[in-house]
């Protein structure tokens, strides 16, 4: 199969969209124009000639690698990540670096040091984060796919907000060589694409072990069960209790709450009505496709967010210690001594959210505090993984919401920083368990995309793609107004 790409009017199309979105921090217009004009003429590669965006924390030789931080502004990568070289080996063309929350820390892409990225469906709303630039560019049709990184939902949440497909692979199936480290035991390079089939092609190109990443593995053959599939769905009580405890800490003992009481205690933290309707519609659509739905319980889910942020910030405080103005990072013009140099470098270079997470991580790793916080979080992480193992022993995949709300606004319409973190409950659990998760759009409610995600067994990406492709065939993805299909 080959691609014939229509280029007529693409330059003007790109300019109009990018002026509204701010999705790219750097773009090679010549490479993009060349890709838009290229016909693969019978190549056996389905990716040959296609352009793609790259989140600005993934290395591409000769392109910027700033992680959307002032501290690394002006730094160009001397090498390419393994995922990039593998895609280029299939003929795909990296055309630019996409905007992100600084060092991957955020849910809006408003934490970038350089610009904010707007949602293609409504410019007053966020694109999600931290891979918001990648998601916005794909949703607007500027590129057919982009790479992002997912530490606690940073591929799936912006894909959900923008109405495209987002894959967080099984931990280790995609090399992290060339990905600037944030929380090494949680993060993966992921895929954002304009269809589930495209996401599958990209994943198949980048997966596999890599001698440059000792955590990488060759995934075993994916055994797909016979029809019909059995899909687990979070039981209403489990969903309500998790939201009540995670998003309204004053709710008290969730185990003692009835479903109704838990929903009341969580107040505004329950699923937004439009999200709830979209999730119910997804369930009905999957049933109509012949799949069997069963309720599942994940008792430890209510502890996922505190465990995630304890582990992630601890690892971030260690990983970001290298950015000190000596080994890496822009340094001040003058410092009295090495300590002053480091202090001035990090004070001027890091944004508020990055500083907050480094401080939290340093706190939980203090002598005498590790048992109380970090090691306890690791035990919770084990419990979450075991809960998923038990749930997946009785079903082929688990259907979950992606985020409690649709793309949120700014100013008075914004979610508080705490609420944004707490709302990671449905995404960070897959990172803690190391499992694959695929977010896919299920429709449009109130003028904005809604969606769901499927979480599968380790190395079960093939089944997730098959389910999403079947859903997409019956319910085609809706595109934002002004979208044109340039990439086939």
Q: Locate 27 and state its tokens.
A: 């773009």
CB 193 within 8 A of CB 183: no
**Residue 477 to residue 449: CA distance in whole angstroms:** 10
Residue 49 · residue 9 · CB < 8 Å? no
Instruction: Please give the C-alpha separations between residue 337 and each of 165, 203, 321, 344, in angstroms, as whole numbers.
Output: 49, 47, 18, 11
What pLDDT score was predicted for residue 45? 58
Give the Cα separation of 241 and 261 in Å (integer): 9
Nearest to 98 by CA among 35, 197, 33, 21: 21
**Beta carbons of 334 and 340 less than 8 angstroms apart:** no
Contact 443, 373 (CB under 8 A): no
Do 290 and 227 meet the contact criterion of CB atoms below 8 Å apart? yes
pLDDT of residue 228: 82
Dihedral sign for Cα 455, 458, 462, 463, please.
negative
Share above pLDDT 70 across residues of the chain, in percent, rounded to a whole number: 91
- Positions annotated as catalytic residues are 55, 130, 154
Tell me the Ramachandran region of residue 75: left when phi exceeds 0, alpha when psi lies from -120 to 50, beta otherwise: beta
Share above pLDDT 90 across residues of the chain, in percent, rounded to a whole number: 82
CB burial of 309-324 (b: ≥16 within 10 Å; e: otherwise) equals bbbbbbbbbbbbeebb
Residues 6+ apart with CB under 8 A from 34: 93
Q: Is 294 helix (H, G, I), strand (E, B) or coil?
A: strand
Q: State how far the Cα of 155 lies from the Cα of 151, in Å rounded to an integer.
A: 8
Rounded to whole angstroms, the Cα distance separating 344 from 252 reads: 43
Nearest to 66 by CA among 7, 24, 125: 24
- What's residue 3's pLDDT? 44
Name which of 148, 52, 140 is nearest 106 in CA terms: 148
Model confidence at 412, in pLDDT bands (50, 70, 90)? confident
**Structural domain boundaries of the chain?**
10-218+436-474
Using a cut of 0.85, tell me whether the model's pTM lies above it. yes
Which one, of 136, 133, 144, lies nearest residue 48 by Cα?
A: 144
Per-residue pLDDT reduced to its tens digit, 309-355:
999 999 999 999 999 999 889 999 999 999 999 999 999 999 999 99
Confidence of residue 220 (pLDDT cuts 50, 70, 90): confident
Report whether pLDDT(42) > 50: no
How large is the greatest C-alpha to C-alpha distance in the chain, in angstroms?
Answer: 70
- Of 54, 52, 53, 48, the residue nearest 91 (C-alpha): 48
Q: Phi/psi zone of residue 178: left (φ > 0), alpha (ψ -120 to 50 degrees), beta?
A: left
What CATH architecture applies to the domain 10-218+436-474? Answer: Alpha-Beta Complex (3.90)
Q: What is the pLDDT of residues 444-454, one digit of tens each?
A: 999 999 999 99
């Amino acid at each position: 199969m080959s691609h014939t790409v229509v280029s007529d009017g693409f330059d003007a199309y790109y300019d109009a969209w990018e002026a509204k979105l701010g999705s790219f921090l750097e773009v090679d217009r010549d490479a993009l124009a060349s890709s838009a004009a290229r016909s693969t003429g019978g190549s056996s590669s389905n990716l040959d000639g296609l352009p793609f965006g790259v989140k600005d924390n993934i290395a591409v030789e000769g392109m910027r690698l700033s992680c959307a931080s002032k501290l690394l502004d002006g730094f160009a990568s001397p090498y390419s990540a393994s995922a990039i070289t593998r895609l280029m080996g299939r003929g795909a063309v990296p055309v630019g670096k996409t905007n992100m929350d600084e060092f991957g820390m955020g849910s809006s892409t408003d934490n970038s040091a350089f610009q904010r990225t707007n949602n293609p469906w409504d410019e007053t709303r966020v694109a999600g984060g931290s891979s918001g630039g990648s998601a916005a560019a794909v949703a607007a049709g500027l590129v057919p796919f982009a790479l992002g990184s997912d530490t606690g939902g940073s591929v799936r949440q912006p894909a959900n907000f923008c109405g495209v497909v987002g894959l967080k692979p099984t931990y280790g199936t995609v090399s992290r060589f060339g990905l600037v480290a944030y929380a090494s035991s949680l993060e993966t390079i992921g895929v954002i694409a304009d269809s589930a089939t495209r996401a599958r092609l990209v994943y198949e190109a980048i997966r596999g072990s890599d001698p440059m990443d000792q955590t990488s593995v060759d995934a075993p053959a994916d055994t797909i069960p016979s029809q019909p599939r059995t899909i687990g769905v979070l039981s209403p009580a489990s969903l309500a209790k998790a939201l009540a405890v995670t998003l309204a800490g004053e709710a008290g003992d969730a185990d003692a709450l009835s479903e109704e009481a838990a929903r009341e205690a969580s107040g505004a933290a329950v699923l937004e009505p439009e999200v709830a309707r979209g999730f119910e519609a997804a369930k009905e659509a999957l049933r109509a496709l012949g799949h069997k739905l069963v309720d599942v319980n994940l008792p430890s889910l209510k502890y996922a967010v505190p465990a995630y942020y304890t582990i992630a910030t601890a690892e971030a405080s260690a990983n970001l210690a290298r950015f000190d103005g000596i080994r890496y990072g822009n340094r001040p013009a003058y410092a009295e001594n090495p300590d002053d140099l480091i202090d001035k470098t990090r004070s001027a270079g890091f944004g508020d959210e990055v500083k907050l997470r480094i401080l939290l991580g340093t706190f939980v790793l203090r002598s005498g505090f590790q048992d109380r916080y970090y090691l306890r979080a690791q035990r919770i992480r084990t419990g979450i993984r075991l809960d998923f193992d038990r749930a997946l022993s009785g079903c082929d995949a688990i259907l979950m919401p992606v985020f409690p709300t649709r793309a949120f606004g700014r100013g008075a319409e914004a979610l508080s920083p705490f609420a944004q973190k707490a709302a990671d409950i449905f995404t960070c659990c897959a990172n803690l368990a190391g499992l694959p998760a695929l977010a896919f759009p299920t429709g449009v409610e109130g003028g904005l995309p809604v969606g769901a995600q499927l979480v599968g067994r380790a190395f079960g990406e093939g089944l997730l793609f098959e389910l999403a492709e079947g859903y997409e065939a019956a319910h085609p993805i809706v595109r934002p107004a002004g979208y044109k299909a340039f990439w086939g």
